[in-house]
Amino acid sequence: MEAPGIYYQERHCDCDPDALQDSGVQIHNMAQDLVLFASVPLSKEGWHAAAASQLIVVKHGKIVATRNLQ
């Protein structure tokens, strides 16, 4: 796939509660799931190229379905 395309990456992050202590922010759930979308890969690891007609459904930070619309 050539730019501009759509690339995606699923990530799981754990927050460090001590890193936010001085900011006054409180996070109750330290784990976070997310899906990143970009027109070009932003790093060397973990990016997948989406097909031109691919539908990607994300719920609560996780891919729950994909479908080719052609």
Output the tens digit of pLDDT for each of the chain's 70 residues.
555 689 999 998 877 666 666 676 666 667 789 999 999 899 998 899 999 889 999 999 999 999 999 8
Res 5: pLDDT: 85
Q: Which two tokens stand for residue 25?
A: 């922010």
Q: Tokens 């001590």 label which residue? A: 18
> 0.75 cut: is pTM over it?
no
Res 27: pLDDT: 64
Are 56 and 66 contacting, i.e. CB atoms less than 8 angstroms apart?
Answer: yes
Handedness of CA 29, 30, 31, 37 (dihedral sign): positive
DSSP category for residue 18: G
Q: Give residue limits of the domains in the chain.
A: 7-68
